Amino acid sequence: MRIAIDCDDAAVNLKKVILEHLKSKGVEVTDLDYAGTSPGAHYPEIGYNLAVRVKSGDFDRGILMCGTGLGMAMIANKVETVFAGVCHDVYSAERLVKSNNANVLTMGERVVGPEVAKKVVDAWLVSDFAGGGSTEKVEQMRALEKRSFHPGSGE
């Protein structure tokens, strides 16, 4: 699994912790470091960049961090085919994938400590979409997403 990671200026320390954690586990992770190549960039540009890279297939999943994780989730969800959610606990991280088939995890450095964040990321990474009763709901979300991104397409 290819993972992209990025953050804004409010989560630099958490990104370092998660990046090192993933590398120590042998996970293929790429730090997009959008702010490093675009000084003054704010979370909307950073989150959008990662989401577009996930949509394009450059990466299977992405992890975005800011102060709360909320803004990053909001902007990532503006990219078609990207489902992002904020998680600061293990159960939510598992359900993000198992029930919702999400491909982007967001977290906030001001909300979650580094040790819990590692556990959240680990739970999210090993989770797979469970299907079952969630399949119809995820398909409905995809259909509504298509209607939103392609109005008048008959969907």
- Specify the pTM: 0.94
DSSP notation for 92-121 = HHHHHHHTT---EEEEETTTS-HHHHHHHH
**Cα 144 from Cα 88, distance rounded (Å):** 27
What is the pLDDT confidence band of residue 19, given thresholds at 50, 70 and 90?
very high
Residues recognised as catalytic: 66
**Per-state percent for the chain, helix, strand, coil, to nearest 5:** 50, 15, 35
Condensed to tens digits (0 to 9), the pLDDT of residues 40-59 reads 999 999 999 999 999 999 99
Task: Yes or no: say if 72 and 45 are a contact pair by the CB < 8 Å rule.
Answer: no
Please tell me what DSSP assigns to residue 127: -
Q: Which of 63-72, 81-90, 141-150 has the lowest mean pLDDT?
A: 141-150
Instruction: Give pLDDT, residue 155.
Output: 52
Task: Yes or no: say if 105 and 121 are a contact pair by the CB < 8 Å rule.
Answer: yes
User: Which residue segments constitute the domains of the chain, with CATH numbers given?
Assistant: 2-128 (3.40.1400.10)
What is the pLDDT confidence band of residue 32, given thresholds at 50, 70 and 90?
very high
